[in-house]
């Protein structure tokens, strides 16, 4: 149908104006300012807000279905005209964006929402590790967040690749500063009377301008701006030259940091005043700031004397005189009071997952003041060692409600976490399971915690399409039918290719569900921060010279002294895995995940033999990248287990040497496949950057892999090693800092 005019009522709000511009760009129709009279002629598109929609006969029957709904959206085509309506300006805009993306699926539909708030936080692509990845479009990503049906979006980031802490670290090789490079705190944007002159004025101005731009983009779609940070976080140490009495807890990780880093002492009233003043100053620029989420106990932050602080329970003498729960309550309450003076709807949320003992969590929950809320991962999808979070975390939500809170859940729009650095992997039924968990917990509000990918990086993201359905009250009763309809659309009506595409998605999900995740480090950090992909896999890493280690060491997070560079079972100087765990993972890779991924890639290759098809090629490249990634992990585990057992066990050394050779030769072949895939693919499936390389983003993976290949072939016959005394130590990460009470 050809549309000629878009009826835009005079005085329309910004999101409705955005909807009109978007529809005009999609249809070629021109905008006409005209009061709504309920008439819809052929070739016209009307945008109606709230009760104005009832003027149109086309909407009345559909609106009956919205009785009692807090918010609604509808799209109705009739007699050559089109009505797009919603209960709020944001809903009108979202309905328009949804119709542009899927006219067939959205026409004749009315939608309501079971979840009152649908915010984002820790959006890895938008604001954190991948914010400077090649092909990323910030404005387009914010548009996608709006299209999917969110009500709020986090807006704070460092606009440059580094951030203040990286640029001003004392030691150039101190990689811990990169853990302060995301979720920037309030002092990255504004000063208080306490910090005046502490940070470069031009840097603060640049960061504040960037957050103002993001807030403006959010408002154009009707999204409420939010702020996500780690607090109380370590600060510029020069502040303690002037105010030594305000030094608080040491919050860095002693196994990953080269210098001590301290937060301000939140037991001090002067520090609470600083935080309140900083938030007030930020809200002069973003007066409609709707929420502030603070994470703590990680990434350079922590509450005084929490038992699981990386450095151990510590803080000031004054903080020791108070309870942990009182400190959390006073800190969050100071932020809440300051924010609500400007925006009465402002909310403070404390994110709690693994950072506290059960007793600490319960005491904090009970002490938080009214208006300070909690948020937790709600579970669903794969967890460590094949487990899930939902059973454990269900009790947290129950405790929150006993304390008078209505908590937020959290879901990641992927299996468990991004398959770093490969991205855009479909998981439609896993997403459906996650929403079933949200509903079973009877949650009224939730956060999307990353893994939303947007065009042009990912033009065919089935996860986003499934998510946009599940977020609505009507959900997705027939997932398979929905997948098949979209597949046919993306395959331009080629029925057989569409069937094979859906078959590949389902096969790929079986592979994801068999992923043998040993811990958080394997789940993403090892392959990026640990540079496992470009690390030469050789019998004895200590025998490599500087030039042979160059590509690996250039971006690796692991510190130079850390034996984790030489042996993959270590990180931060402590054991992460046992040999039995490595063997168990290798067995699961070989039994299920890798064969299923090979099958999935084969299905898509079969579809490409029928006819060239962009979506099939895109999905093939992503699954192939995931296959290569997990082969690297599998081969690395097999090789490291064989090396360690060769060193630790005198018997069966010939068998261990044979196992090692098999793993190394397999990874040599896999490295060749990596190089070929990255050179030939037209798909952006692997996070890289055109700017500064970081521990989270590769810059020259092909060149680095070519060096890796040459080094691995050169050292294939080396003897296994090094024989580290730490291999025989009984202590690991858990025994070091997460003792049970």
The answer to whether 570 touches 576, Cβ cutoff 8 Å, is yes
The answer to whether 224 touches 288, Cβ cutoff 8 Å, is yes
User: Which positions ≥6 away from 358 have C-beta within 8 Å?
Assistant: 741
Hey, how many other C-beta atoms are within 10 angstroms of the C-beta on 510?
Answer: 16
What's the whole-number mean pLDDT along residues 518-546? 93
- Report the pLDDT value the prediction gives residue 62, as an integer from 0 to 100: 87
Q: Is the pLDDT of residue 385 over 50?
A: no
- Report the pLDDT value the prediction gives residue 120, as an integer from 0 to 100: 98
Query: Could you identify the residue written with the tokens 């005079």?
Result: 10
- Report the pLDDT value the prediction gives residue 520, as an integer from 0 to 100: 83
Task: Please provide residue 351's backbone torsions phi and psi, each rounded to the nearest 5 degrees.
Answer: -85, 125
In whole angstroms, give the CA distance from residue 411 to residue 436.
11
Report the share of the chain in percent with pLDDT over 70: 97
- Report the pLDDT value the prediction gives residue 388, as an integer from 0 to 100: 53
Residue 519 is given by DSSP the state: S
User: Which positions ≥6 away from 64 have C-beta within 8 Å?
Assistant: none
Q: What is the pTM of this model?
A: 0.96
- Report the pLDDT value the prediction gives residue 525, as an integer from 0 to 100: 85
CATH number for the domain whose boundaries are 5-112: 3.30.379.10
- Report the pLDDT value the prediction gives residue 67, as an integer from 0 to 100: 82
Q: Is the pLDDT of residue 386 over 50?
A: no
pLDDT category of residue 74 using cuts at 50, 70 and 90:
very high
Hey, how many other C-beta atoms are within 10 angstroms of the C-beta on 39?
Answer: 12
- State the distance between the two ends of the chain, measured CA to CA, in whole angstroms: 67
User: Which positions ≥6 away from 593 have C-beta within 8 Å?
Assistant: 511, 514, 515, 516, 630
Q: Which CATH architecture has domain 117-494?
A: Alpha-Beta Barrel (3.20)
Q: Which of 277, 275, 139, 280 is nearest to 210 (CA)?
A: 139
Average pLDDT, the chain: 95
User: Which positions ≥6 away from 170 have C-beta within 8 Å?
Assistant: 258, 259
- Report the pLDDT value the prediction gives residue 741, as an integer from 0 to 100: 46
Report the share of the chain in percent with pLDDT over 90: 90
What's the whole-number mean pLDDT along residues 446-458? 95
pLDDT category of residue 390 using cuts at 50, 70 and 90:
low
In whole angstroms, give the CA distance from residue 134 to residue 131.
9
**Across-strand partners of 229?**
294
- Report the pLDDT value the prediction gives residue 533, as an integer from 0 to 100: 97
Task: Please provide residue 80's backbone torsions phi and psi, each rounded to the nearest 5 degrees.
Answer: 85, 0
Chain segment 156-179, per-residue pLDDT in tens: 999 999 999 999 999 999 999 999
Q: Is the pLDDT of residue 637 over 50?
A: yes
SS (H, E, C) 701-712: HHHHHHHHHHHH
Q: Which of 231, 273, 266, 256 is nearest to 311 (CA)?
A: 256
What's the whole-number mean pLDDT along residues 477-493? 97
Burial of 388 (0-12, 13-18, 19+ CB in 10 A): middle
Query: Could you identify the residue written with the tokens 């603070």?
Result: 294
- Sign of the torsion formed by the C-alpha atoms of 540, 546, 547 and 551: positive
Q: Is the pLDDT of residue 635 over 80?
A: yes
User: Which positions ≥6 away from 521 have C-beta within 8 Å?
Assistant: 530, 571, 576
pLDDT category of residue 389 using cuts at 50, 70 and 90:
low
In whole angstroms, give the CA distance from residue 359 to residue 350.
16
- In whole angstroms, how large is the CA radius of gyration of the chain? 27
DSSP strand pairing (5-8 vs 44-49): parallel
Q: Is the pLDDT of residue 333 over 60?
A: yes
The tokens describing 172, both together, are 């150039």
- Report the pLDDT value the prediction gives residue 381, as an integer from 0 to 100: 61
Is the omega angle on the peptide bond into residue 421 within 30 degrees of 0, that is, cis? yes
What's the whole-number mean pLDDT along residues 484-488? 98
Describe the strand order of the beta sheet including 72-78 as a list of residue ranges: 30-33, 5-8, 44-49, 81-86, 72-78, 109-112
- Report the pLDDT value the prediction gives residue 414, as an integer from 0 to 100: 85
What's the whole-number mean pLDDT along residues 599-612? 98
| Cα dihedral 313, 319, 321, 323 in deg (nearest 10) | -70
SS3 at position 683: coil
What's the whole-number mean pLDDT along residues 208-231? 99
- Report the pLDDT value the prediction gives residue 740, as an integer from 0 to 100: 46
Chain segment 548-564, per-residue pLDDT in tens: 999 999 999 999 999 99
Is the omega angle on the peptide bond into residue 199 within 30 degrees of 0, that is, cis? no
In whole angstroms, give the CA distance from residue 96 to residue 46.
11
- Report the pLDDT value the prediction gives residue 730, as an integer from 0 to 100: 72
What's the whole-number mean pLDDT along residues 467-490? 97
The tokens describing 339, both together, are 């924010």
In whole angstroms, give the CA distance from residue 362 to residue 397.
11
Q: Which residue has the higher pLDDT, 257 or 388?
A: 257
C-alpha distances in Å from residue 361, one per residue of 34, 105, 309, 443, 557: 56, 44, 14, 19, 31
The answer to whether 504 touches 600, Cβ cutoff 8 Å, is yes
Residue 282: in which H helix or E strand, if any? Answer: helix 269-285
Q: Where in the chain is the domain with CATH 3.20.20.80?
A: 117-494
| Cα dihedral 229, 234, 236, 238 in deg (nearest 10) | 150
- Report the pLDDT value the prediction gives residue 387, as an integer from 0 to 100: 44
Beta strands in 535-633 (DSSP E): 570-571, 574-575
In whole angstroms, give the CA distance from residue 679 to residue 673.
10
Q: Left if phi > 0, otherwise alpha if psi is -120 to 50, otherwise beta: which for 448?
A: beta
Q: Where in the chain is the domain with CATH 3.30.379.10?
A: 5-112
- Report the pLDDT value the prediction gives residue 382, as an integer from 0 to 100: 57
What's the whole-number mean pLDDT along residues 714-727? 97
- Report the pLDDT value the prediction gives residue 384, as an integer from 0 to 100: 46
Q: Which long-range contacts (CB under 8 A, 24 or more apart) does 698-703 make?
A: 698/421, 698/528, 698/533, 698/534, 698/555, 699/555, 700/551, 701/533, 701/534, 701/674, 702/675, 702/678, 703/551
pLDDT category of residue 417 using cuts at 50, 70 and 90:
confident
Residue 670: in which H helix or E strand, if any? Answer: helix 653-680
The tokens describing 491, both together, are 């395959």
What's the whole-number mean pLDDT along residues 671-679? 99
Q: Which of 52, 23, 290, 350 is nearest to 150 (CA)?
A: 290
What's the whole-number mean pLDDT along residues 216-223? 99
């Amino acid at each position: 149908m050809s549309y000629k005019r878009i009826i835009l009522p005079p005085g329309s709000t910004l999101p409705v104006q955005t909807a009109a511009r978007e529809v005009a760009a999609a249809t070629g129709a021109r905008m006409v300012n005209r009061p709504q009279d309920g008439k819809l002629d052929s070739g016209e598109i009307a945008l109606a807000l709230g009760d104005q929609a009832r003027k149109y006969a086309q909407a009345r029957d559909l609106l009956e279905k919205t009785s009692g709904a807090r918010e609604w959206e509808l799209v109705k085509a009739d007699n050559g005209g089109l009505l797009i309506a919603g209960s709020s300006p944001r809903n009108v805009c979202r309905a328009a964006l949804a119709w542009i993306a899927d006219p067939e699926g959205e026409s004749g539909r009315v939608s309501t929402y079971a979840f009152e708030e649908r915010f984002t936080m820790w959006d890895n692509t938008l604001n954190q590790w991948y914010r400077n990845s090649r092909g990323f479009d910030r404005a387009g990503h914010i548009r996608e967040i709006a299209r999917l049906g969110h009500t709020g979006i986090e807006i704070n980031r460092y606009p440059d690749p580094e951030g203040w802490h990286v640029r001003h670290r004392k030691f150039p090789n101190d990689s811990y500063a990169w853990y302060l490079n995301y979720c920037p705190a309030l002092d990255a944007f504004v000063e208080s009377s306490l910090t005046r002159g502490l940070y470069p004025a031009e840097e603060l101005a640049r960061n504040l301008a960037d957050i103002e731009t993001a807030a403006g983009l959010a408002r154009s779609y009707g999204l409420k701006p939010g702020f996500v940070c780690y607090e109380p976080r370590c600060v510029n140490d020069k502040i303690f030259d002037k105010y030594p009495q305000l030094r608080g807890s040491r919050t860095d990780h002693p196994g990953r940091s080269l210098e001590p880093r301290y937060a301000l002492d939140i037991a001090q009233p002067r520090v609470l005043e600083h935080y309140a003043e900083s938030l007030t100053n930020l809200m002069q620029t973003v007066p409609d700031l709707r929420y502030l989420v603070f994470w703590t106990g990680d990434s350079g932050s922590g509450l005084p004397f929490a038992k699981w602080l990386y450095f151990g329970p510590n803080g000031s003498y004054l903080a020791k005189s108070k309870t942990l729960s009182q400190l959390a309550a006073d800190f969050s309450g100071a932020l809440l009071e300051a924010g609500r003076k400007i925006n009465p709807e402002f909310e403070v949320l404390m994110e709690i997952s693994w950072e506290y003992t059960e007793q600490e969590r319960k005491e904090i929950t009970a002490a938080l003041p009214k208006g300070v809320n909690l948020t937790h991962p709600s579970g669903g999808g794969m967890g460590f060692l094949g487990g899930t979070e939902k059973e454990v975390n269900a009790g947290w939500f129950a405790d929150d409600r006993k304390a008078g809170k209505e908590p937020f859940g959290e879901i990641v729009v992927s299996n468990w976490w991004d398959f770093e650095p490969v991205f855009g992997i479909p998981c439609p039924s896993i997403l459906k399971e996650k929403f079933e968990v949200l509903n079973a917990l009877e949650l009224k509000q939730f956060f999307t915690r990353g893994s939303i990918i947007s065009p042009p990086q990912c033009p065919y993201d089935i996860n986003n399409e499934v998510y946009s359905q599940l977020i609505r009250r009507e959900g997705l009763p027939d997932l398979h039918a929905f997948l098949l309809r979209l597949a046919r659309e993306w395959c331009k009506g080629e029925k057989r290719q569409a069937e094979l595409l859906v078959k590949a998605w389902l096969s790929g999900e079986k592979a994801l569900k068999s992923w043998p995740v040993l811990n958080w480090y394997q789940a993403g950090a090892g392959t990026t921060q640990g540079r496992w992909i470009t690390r030469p896999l050789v019998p004895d890493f200590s025998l490599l010279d500087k030039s042979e280690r160059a590509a690996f060491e250039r971006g690796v997070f692991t510190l130079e002294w850390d034996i984790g560079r030489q042996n993959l079972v270590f990180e931060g100087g402590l054991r992460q895995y046992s040999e039995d765990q490595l063997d168990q993972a290798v067995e699961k890779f070989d039994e299920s995940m890798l064969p299923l991924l090979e099958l999935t890639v084969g299905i898509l290759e079969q579809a490409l033999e029928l006819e060239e098809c962009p979506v099939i090629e895109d999905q093939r490249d992503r699954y192939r990248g995931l296959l290569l990634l997990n082969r690297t992990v599998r081969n690395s585990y097999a090789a490291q287990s064989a090396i360690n057992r060769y060193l630790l066990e005198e018997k069966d050394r010939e068998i261990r040497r044979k196992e090692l050779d098999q793993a190394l030769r397999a990874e040599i072949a896999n490295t060749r496949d990596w190089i070929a895939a990255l050179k030939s693919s037209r798909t952006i499936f692997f996070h890289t950057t055109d700017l500064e390389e970081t521990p989270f983003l590769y810059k020259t993976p092909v060149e680095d892999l070519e060096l890796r290949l040459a080094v691995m072939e050169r050292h294939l016959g080396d003897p296994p090693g090094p024989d580290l005394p730490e291999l025989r130590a009984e202590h690991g990460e858990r025994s070091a800092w997460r003792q049970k009470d």
